[in-house]
Structure 1
Amino acid sequence: MLNIAIAQLNYTVGDFTSNVAAIIGGMRTAFARAADIVVFSELAVCGYYPGDLLEDAAFLEQFEPALEKLLEASRQMPKLATVVGTVRRNTGAGKPLHNSLLVIQDGIIIAEYHKQLLPTYGIFDEYRHFEPGQQTACTLRIAGHHIGFLICEDGWNQPGRDYKINPFDALRRAGPELVISINASPSDIAKRTLRHSTLGKAAADTGLPILFVNQVGGQDQLVFDGASFALMPDRRIVFEAEQFSEDFQLIAFDEGNFTAAGGAALPIPSQGLSTEEFARRQIILGVQDYARRCGFSKAVVGSSGGIDSALTLALAVQALGAENVAAVTMPSGWSSEGSVSDSQTLCANLGIPLYVHPIASLVQQYGAGFKDAFAAPLQGLPLENLQARIRGTVLMEYSNSFGALLLTTGNKSEISVGYCTLYGDTNGGLGLIGDLYKTEVYALSRHINLQAGRELIPEAVISKAPSAELAPGQKDTDSLPPYEVLDEILKWHLEGRRMPQTEADAAYGFVQQLQAGDEGRQLVKRILGMVARNEYKRRQAPPLIRVRARAFGSGRQMPIAAKY
């Protein structure tokens, strides 16, 4: 029987000291529990993904001392095999580095494997830094069992369409009893299902059980959900670790089957989270780790009395605690009464302070100064944008003065079409709901209230007509179609078949019906034009937490100065 310790941990990019300490801690726990092998995730030593730090000499110099610490720890734990992801120098032609897997035992590297398939799609850019490994299988005998090893993407080419080679082919010929794959697989709404189906097909095609070990935690706009799992050749998921939290599990493998250590049955994997609960957990973990890694313990949000700022505040409170979140309302001459009163109700419900900073006099001073300088009145769109920019400045003043992370409140629908003000409501350090369409903002708000069993987000906020309140009587629908229409067009255009099939089919069917008429075709053309024209705003906006398969940022790289 092979006893396997699964160490699903949260690493910080570049924090070699903490990462190595966490790995050694996992090794000690595994050794104490009589594990034969302990498995950590891809690039665990340095954290995933270091990007162009891989071109920094001081960064690269830390790998060897880190490895020496792991080897020394291994000498103190006889016979425990440690599987860990790190960076290794390439001694041959090509890029100078490999994305590597090491197996360490008794202070010696007993196996070394270099990732063969280096993704460059979506948020990935590994071929920028790494040289692919040789097209050979990596296998070892541990505790009498023949084990094969892979790194993340190497297990994702089972249909053979994306790369010329499939590392599973060499593994199958080598004939292991079990495949262990180490991963840094970022999550999105459909990712868990995709992992299960893709690796399930690989297991079925090869007849090999697979253990998939993932990392957990937020890193910039990415969130890794953990959810490590074991599956059988009949595609059954027989084990799954916790989702969105660190987890350490000991499982056994013998005669082609996984069991709990001690021979008991493994827990049955959950059916997964609802879309709203997934988004809530993804965002909360993302903001927690972003704030912690960037040195923030407090956050501030501009509260307009609208749904976007209300949801952002509710999520911030769940992530950081009410004692660490503050709201600022900044009424102008065009703000409705509900802008302040609804903000007051919301903040009372959440248990956070609400500061009132009126901006009407500042707007008047700016207008007078503009007229004196340029002999023209400040009016129309420039006057609307001025209000947003004054609010953004006030919030940045608060952030600078009190050390609070400013959270932006734009949703994906508005960011897509540029319904936001550069250097105004786009100011901030992180966007929590920037990968949620407006209709999803409403759905998540109701979900949070349902979970709480009361109105954390007031119904008056949820049910009011959305408005930027930058002009008298202004409504979002003055310049945009209803969000139920806009969001389907945006899903079709921005994500397409990257969405779950049912969601993609609905969006494609909706747009097809729209385009059957001239008015609908013109609307779709107008929305696509708005998306293209506002790339310059998105390029200058703060990072946002990725929730869907294709988010703005590194996952969607579009030119600014182009015609399309």
Structure 2
Amino acid sequence: MLHITVAQLNYFVGDIEGNTRKMIEAARRAAVDGADLVVFSELSLTGYYPGDLLEEPGFLRRVDAGLQALKDASRQLPGLHWVVGAPVRRDGPGKKLHNALLVVAGGELVTQYAKQLLPTYDVFDEQRHFAAGPDVARVLRIGTTQVGLMICEDGWNDSGEDYLVNPFTRLGDAAPDLVVSINASPSNVGKREQRHQVFGQASTRHRLPLLYVNQVGGQDQIVFDGASFAVEPDRGVTFEAQRFVEDTVTLRFDNGRFLALGGEALPPVAAQGLSTMAFYRAQTVLGLRDYTRRCGFKQVVVGSSGGIDSALTLALAVDALGAGNVEAITMPSSFSSSGSVDDSVTLCNNLGVRLHRHPIAELVTAYARQFEATFGTPLAGLPLENLQARIRGTILMEHSNRFGHMLLTTGNKSELSVGYCTLYGDTNGGLGLLGDLFKTEVFALCRHLNEAAGRELIPVAIIDKPPSAELAPDQKDTDSLPPYPLLDEILKVEIEGGRLATWERAQAEAVVQQLLATPEGPALVARIRGMVARSEYKRRQSPPIIRVRSRAFGSGRQMPIAAFHA
């Protein structure tokens, strides 16, 4: 029998001293529970992912100091084994570091395992810093239990499709009683169920119970949802930690089964997790909350146009930070409808957010007058439209600079995909909350928030009005773009493709095939593809966005700016 504490914690990348304190506190709680083993997540000492901090002078010395602090603390908790993730030095050709799992007990390093499979795809770039570990299994005896050790990606290749090496097979040959896998698995829609499927199948195939420990929290554009779990060969997933919060839980492992600390059966784990919209909300809120506090901001500001994107951004910001830490600015021009301004007022009243009014008509006129005086030609058309967006962006940045609020940009994935945004205007900001949500999902999430609140947080007038940038008379988004329900399906195929969930890919591909069968369809699809390609330079200069889907702009989709597109 073994008592194991799952330490699902929220680490701050680079804060080795803070991460160390957090781990020591969790280990002390584990000792109170009588645990034999406390398990932290992948690279828990540094936080995931440290990137080129690993190359900074003094960083590895701080790692050494943090590891020594953990060893010293372990002397005070005899009998408790600590499973820790950390970078360690290595000799020989190639990269000079391993992504390692270390077991510490009684002030000593008991054993060490180096990650074999180093992901270099999507948001991962581990081969930039780490060398692959040797093809060996590492098993540690704790009491009467043989514990096999594994790190994240090592467990994702049991099908043998992605790498030549399958660490699960080697570990299975060693025949441990239990496998402990430490992970830093970023969250996206459907990822929880995917983890359960992959590790559940491996557990069944190798007849090995498995404990999967993940981290939680936001780091730049990615969010870790926690959701650590235990899986048994015959019963599937039998335990799951909470999602999107820190959770420290001690389990009993006895005769191949996971039980509650007192020996009673664990509550059943639902096959399906949160609904898609509830997931988007939870992921975005945690991502914003951690991003602001780790970047030193307590408050945010949003430009409120009276449109749906800014309305949803404001609602999510209030959810994450509280109404008192969110401010909005409405900046009507000569093309703004009175309804848009009124809708902004209603929205902010509903949310409890302070709304400032800063008209821009006189500023636009002054810019246009001076432009014509200087260059001898009037400012009209697209340059005049973009001028309004840039004036608004400047006002928002003035507020941010003067009052210290971080500016949230409001663009959605559909707009960012085709470049329906203005550089140095509505792309200004420190973080985008909606940049991985298609426009149709923006509408759905607004309705979800209203349903969850049981009242009209976001006015129905905002949800129902035709989308418009209001930069020209009677302007509508559909003047330049196909309807969003059609555009989004094209974009899903173009941008995410095989990374889509099976049902979503089938739906999107069916819509595109039907469109291609029409006389105007091929030209429209080609035009959208061209817009996506030509807008890469805009996305490269835009703020980071919170990733919620399987392929997000940023590190998840790395495309050249200057490239030939057939």
Q: TM-score range by the shorter chain?
A: over 0.9
Contact 1:391 1:425 in 2 (8 A): yes
Contact 1:46 1:86 in 2 (8 A): yes
- The match for 1:222 is 222
Task: Give the letter aligned to residue 197 of structure 2.
Answer: S
Whether 1:134 and 2:134 are equivalent positions in the alignment is: yes
Pairwise CA distance, 1:517: 2.2
CA distance in 1, matches of 2:117, 2:79: 31
CA distance in 2, matches of 1:59, 1:142: 32
Contact 1:200 1:235 in 2 (8 A): no
Whether 1:86 and 2:100 are equivalent positions in the alignment is: no
Whether 1:490 and 2:491 are equivalent positions in the alignment is: yes
- The match for 2:561 is 560
Normalised to the residue count of structure 1, the TM-score between the two structures is: 0.99
Alignment deviations for residues 270-294 of structure 1 (CA, whole Å, 9 cap, x no partner): 3310000000000000000000000
Task: Give the letter aligned to residue 196 of structure 2.
Answer: H
Contact 1:225 1:245 in 2 (8 A): yes
Task: Give the letter aligned to residue 295 of structure 1.
Answer: G
- The match for 2:11 is 11
CA distance in 1, matches of 2:476, 2:428: 22
Pairwise CA distance, 1:311: 0.2
Task: Give the letter aligned to residue 149 of structure 1.
Answer: L
CA distance in 1, matches of 2:18, 2:244: 20
Task: Give the letter aligned to residue 502 of structure 1.
Answer: W
Instruction: Specify whether residues 253 and 223 from structure 1 end up closer, same or farther in structure 2 by C-alpha distance, changes over 3 A only.
Output: same
Matched ranges for 1:353-368 at <5 A? 353-368=354-369
- The match for 1:287 is 288
- The match for 1:420 is 421
Matched ranges for 1:300-379 at <5 A? 300-379=301-380
SS at match of 1:287: helix
CA distance in 2, matches of 1:358, 1:131: 57
Contact 1:190 1:499 in 2 (8 A): no
CA distance in 2, matches of 1:191, 1:42: 17
- The match for 1:96 is 96
SS at match of 1:141: strand
Q: Which runs of 4+ in 1 moved over 3 A?
A: none
Task: Give the letter aligned to residue 22 of structure 1.
Answer: K
Task: Give the letter aligned to residue 527 of structure 1.
Answer: I
Contact 1:204 1:235 in 2 (8 A): no
Whether 1:528 and 2:525 are equivalent positions in the alignment is: no
- The match for 2:459 is 458
CA distance in 2, matches of 1:273, 1:210: 23
Task: Give the letter aligned to residue 506 of structure 2.
Answer: D
CA distance in 2, matches of 1:143, 1:186: 33
Contact 1:189 1:549 in 2 (8 A): yes
Task: Give the letter aligned to residue 397 of structure 1.
Answer: E
- The match for 1:444 is 445
SS at match of 1:471: coil
Whether 1:163 and 2:163 are equivalent positions in the alignment is: yes
Alignment deviations for residues 65-124 of structure 1 (CA, whole Å, 9 cap, x no partner): 101100000000001000010010012322010100000111111110000000001000
CA distance in 2, matches of 1:149, 1:357: 59
- The match for 1:69 is 69
Pairwise CA distance, 1:254: 1.1
SS at match of 2:58: helix
SS at match of 1:43: coil
Contact 2:42 2:183 in 1 (8 A): yes
Any stretches of 5+ residues in structure 1 without a counterpart?
Answer: none
Pairwise CA distance, 1:351: 0.4
Task: Give the letter aligned to residue 28 of structure 2.
Answer: R
Q: How many residues align?
A: 564
CA distance in 1, matches of 2:349, 2:225: 32
- The match for 2:396 is 395
Alignment deviations for residues 25-48 of structure 1 (CA, whole Å, 9 cap, x no partner): 011010111000000000000000
Contact 1:251 1:260 in 2 (8 A): yes
CA distance in 2, matches of 1:511, 1:405: 39
Pairwise CA distance, 1:235: 5.8
- The match for 2:468 is 467
SS at match of 1:57: coil
CA distance in 2, matches of 1:485, 1:124: 31
SS at match of 1:163: coil
Alignment deviations for residues 426-458 of structure 1 (CA, whole Å, 9 cap, x no partner): 000000011000000000000000011100000
Normalised to the residue count of structure 2, the TM-score between the two structures is: 0.99
Contact 1:201 1:235 in 2 (8 A): no
- The match for 2:27 is 27
Alignment deviations for residues 373-392 of structure 1 (CA, whole Å, 9 cap, x no partner): 10010000000000000000
